[in-house]
Amino acid sequence: MGASLSNDAEIEICQKEVIKWTKDDVSAWLVDNDFGIYKTQFYENDIDGEALLNLDDDKLTKLGVNVGNSIKILSRVKVITEDATEQKETTTPNKRQTPPVSTNPPVLTQKEEERLIALCLKKLEKLKGLQKLDVDQRKDKARSLVIKKALLESYLNSSYVATRKTMLNLLESSDSHNHSSGVISMAQSGSGPVENQSEDDEDKEQIRQVLEKIDSLEGTTAASQLNQNKSQQQKLTEHNKSMYDIDHAPVTTKNTQITDEEFLKIKLVIVEIHNSSSQRTFRRVLSLWTFPLCTHRGSVVILEWNDSCLVVPRKCYSGAAVLAADVNQFFKGPQVPEALDKISEVICEWNAHYQYSQKTYNCQLFVDKICEALDIKLKFTGALESFLQQLRRTGQCEMSYAIPEKLQADFQSPTNSLQFQTHQELDQFVNSVIEKHPTYFDMGEHKDDFTLLKSYDRAFWLRHFKNRKQEEYKPHKCPFNNPTASGSIIDNFFTYGKNKKKNKM
């Protein structure tokens, strides 16, 4: 079986009647239409052109093709069948002819939706905290994770109605089913950080504060209505609003730019999920930063594929983040809903059909698929690139910095490197460099050094949002600016601000 075909061979395939295709022709067609993962199954089961034309849902299922791709394959087979006469009449073409591909995915029938929901329900049954939910509630959760329209409305929609509904669901799920239930717990893996009661209460209070902000903006009474349904014992203790609330955080003018367009920014987050004397394991995660400025709203969610086998967009914090780096691409205006649509399609596909595996369907592949869908190239340079290469090569992932020769006299170390154990250590080092060498990070390769150090800083902020009382995660004078003021990272699942702003990030 050939791995690939030459240009002339590919043209020859397109000129053939489909019914005359060989197994190799079918394999080449699968690869050309992004179904290459199935070419081995098709080849070993003797799927030639005639067999391809006789495929149906049951046959594709036996071949190991999931529902979503079955629909797409049958749709494209139909296209090439309808075009067979035209292809037969075509003489030698100047360039390869490929079947037209519909830009709009096929609409799922009710039967197909029910099948996808059933697949997701099997995964949900393995998660803690869902035992108290009735059948309809479980189906609703499954629907919001495998049906694209429901996912967009529930998790990746910045509109007022969807946001308010999500916040209420977060509170109600958390209050009714303790720590293991609700949106956040569904995203946690068995090896992930564990929340304690005080942190959970603090999270619920922050969500309640956001609801009050929504009420004040829209003239509704969501928070008060929710409180009326809770007993006095269940009400949370009032405390001061977070000092990092975006409404009151200082704004750095030189890094802030007024805009009226909706905006989507993506960050790559490296999370440590296991740390012992014998093993260290890291996971790649994507965070989506959106700020629909025309409605004064912003949100940050993390997308994580782990051993729960479900991607549930969740609150943007991480108690084990090691690095949070900007991806050098963003979306604005009409590009935002298009990007969210593509992201949702990948999430639904993985939630319905894939099981977590370190060797195959792992977090790295999930990140790659999201980036592929968005046409994003994960390419970094300088110190940040070296850091990621070391991680891939050795599994070592310390928040460390090799001291350049120019700085060694100012920062003496036996190993000529620094390892940052706390947020304050990182901030003090950067502030000291800027004080002694004001233009140091503006020069050549040292710009990349600044990017790496800033990625450490943003990871410390994610840890700080997870564990606010931990001294080692608290910032010190913020040389990279407070990310909640700039919007680079927003404290809370959904945060509302009065200022229309966008940071360079």
What local confidence, expressed as pLDDT, does residue 383 receive? 82
Query: Torsions phi, psi of 341, nearest 5?
Result: -65, -45
> Is domain 7-100 in CATH 1.10.150.50, yes or no?
yes
List Cβ neighbours of 8 (8 Å cut-off, separation of 6 or more): none
What local confidence, expressed as pLDDT, does residue 425 receive? 92
Give yes or no for residue 145 having a pLDDT over 90: yes
Cα-based torsion angle of the residue sequence 181, 182, 187, 189 in order, rounded to the nearest 10 degrees: -10
List Cβ neighbours of 97 (8 Å cut-off, separation of 6 or more): 11, 14, 87, 90
How far is residue 30's CA from residue 60's CA, in Å, rounded to a whole number? 13
- Please give the share of the chain, as a percent, with pLDDT higher than 70: 58
What local confidence, expressed as pLDDT, does residue 350 receive? 93
**Choice between 234 and 69, residue whose per-residue pLDDT is larger:** 69
What spatial distance separates the first Cα and last Cα of the chain, rounded to whole Å? 48
Give yes or no for residue 345 having a pLDDT over 90: yes
Give per-residue burial for 310-332: e unless 16+ CB within 10 Å, then b.
bbbbbbbbbbbbbbbbbbeebbb
Query: Torsions phi, psi of 117, nearest 5?
Result: -60, -40
**Choice between 172 and 16, residue whose per-residue pLDDT is larger:** 16
How far is residue 302's CA from residue 311's CA, in Å, rounded to a whole number? 9
- Reported as a single tens digit per residue, the pLDDT across 353-408 is 999 887 788 888 888 888 889 888 877 788 888 887 777 676 667 788 888 888 98
What pLDDT band is residue 493 in, cutting at 50, 70 and 90? very low
What's the whole-number mean pLDDT along residues 433-441? 90
- Reported as a single tens digit per residue, the pLDDT across 280-334 is 455 555 545 443 322 233 456 778 888 889 988 876 555 667 777 777 777 888 8
Domain boundaries, the chain: 7-100, 110-396+489-505
- Reported as a single tens digit per residue, the pLDDT across 219-245 is 444 444 445 444 433 432 332 233 222
